[in-house]
Structure 1
Amino acid sequence: MGTGHSYADGLASVGFSVLRCALATNILWIGALKFKPYEVENDEPLVTSSPLFSRLRARLGAEKLNRLIGVTEIALGSLIVAKPFAPRASAIGSFGATGMFVTTLSFLATTPEARQEGQGILSLSQLGQFLLKDTVLLGAALLTAAESLRAATLLTGPRAR
């Protein structure tokens, strides 16, 4: 009975490690791509139709806005992967990623190009399908935040009230 439990714990530990590395890799890689001209062009339909990002784009321009997003993503990905050394910082990175994915999921509602024209609201275009994967990344960010908070508590113990 105890052996099955330890296998499950080991599997969960490996799964969390893979999840954390995959989440950080996705965020870091996509963040680095924000400095490429084609990525600025790819992001245009998203940022111009978003109430928040369209204002930022008007102030900064498309290229600077993408660079700001890229720097933010690189910072968040770096924090997430820092869990063995700085679990609290990693939790902050995961919570930041949570906010980022909630924001990108809002593009499903604000970007007309996210849906197949004339096919109804539930018929996602290729862009919409690309955005939908952020639901999985959102879940990963929440799980890595929880895991990082657990690790930080283990290192420091419960705080005095």
Structure 2
Amino acid sequence: MGTLHASADDLASVGFSVLRAALATNILWIGALKFKQYEVENDEPLVTSSPLFSFFREKLGAQKLNRLIGVTEITVGSLIAAKPFAPRASAIGGVGAAGMFLTTLSFLATAPGTRQEGQGMFSLSLLGQFLLKDTVLLGGALLIAAESLRARHR
């Protein structure tokens, strides 16, 4: 029985390491892309239709807003990756990522084109499906935050 328990613990440890690396890599990479013009253009329908982001879009302009989002994402991704050196910082990064994913999930309600026209409210378009995957990333961010807090207390 002890071997099974150790194997489950080992598997969980590997799983958290993979999750942390994947989450940090995704957030860092996407954050870096926010400095490219095509990404500014891709994000425009999302930010202009969002009550929260439309205000910042109006004040900062599209390019500066995207750069601010990019810097935020790079910071959050870096914090998540810092767990071996700074578990508390990693926990803060996980909570920050959860906030980011809650924000992007709000686009399901505000962005045009998230539903497949004429197919009912549960028929997501490609954009809607792209946004819905953030529910998985939200769960991963919360797990990373919790695991980082546990490591901090050890």
Q: State the TM bucket, normalised to the shorter chain.
A: over 0.9
Moved over 4 A (4+): none
State TM-score, norm by structure 1. 0.94
State TM-score, norm by structure 2. 0.98
Give, as a single letter, the amino acid of the residue that structure 2 aligns with 1:93. G
Taking every aligned residue pair, what percent have the same amino acid on both sides?
81
- 1:14-29 alignment to 2 at 5 Å? 14-29=14-29
- Cα deviations by residue, 1:15-40 (Å, 9 ceiling, x for unpaired): 00000000001100100010111111
Give, as a single letter, the amino acid of the residue that structure 2 aligns with 1:151. A
The Cα shift of 1:92 comes to 0.5
Q: Is the 8 A contact 1:91 1:144 kept in 2?
A: yes
Give, as a single letter, the amino acid of the residue that structure 2 aligns with 1:13. S
User: Secondary structure, in 3 states, of the residue corresponding to 2:116?
Assistant: coil
The Cα shift of 1:121 comes to 1.3
Give distance in 2, aligned partners of 1:84 and 1:95: 17
Give distance in 1, aligned partners of 2:100 and 2:66: 14
Q: Is the 8 A contact 1:45 1:113 kept in 2?
A: no
Give distance in 2, aligned partners of 1:19 and 1:65: 28
Q: Which runs of 5 or more structure 2 residues have no equivalent in the other structure?
A: none
Give distance in 1, aligned partners of 2:116 and 2:48: 18
Give distance in 1, aligned partners of 2:92 and 2:11: 25
Give distance in 2, aligned partners of 1:96 and 1:45: 23
Give distance in 2, aligned partners of 1:145 and 1:92: 7
- Residue matched to 1:157: none
- Residue matched to 2:153: 153
- Residue matched to 1:85: 85
- Residue matched to 2:11: 11
2:71 is equivalent to residue 48 of structure 1: no
Aligned residues: 154
Give, as a single letter, the amino acid of the residue that structure 1 aligns with 2:12. A
- Residue matched to 1:64: 64
2:39 is equivalent to residue 39 of structure 1: yes
Give distance in 2, aligned partners of 1:80 and 1:120: 38
Task: Calculate the aligned-residue CA RMSD, in Å.
Answer: 0.6
Give distance in 2, aligned partners of 1:98 and 1:76: 10
User: Secondary structure, in 3 states, of the residue corresponding to 2:123?
Assistant: coil
Give distance in 2, aligned partners of 1:125 and 1:45: 15
Give distance in 2, aligned partners of 1:46 and 1:119: 22
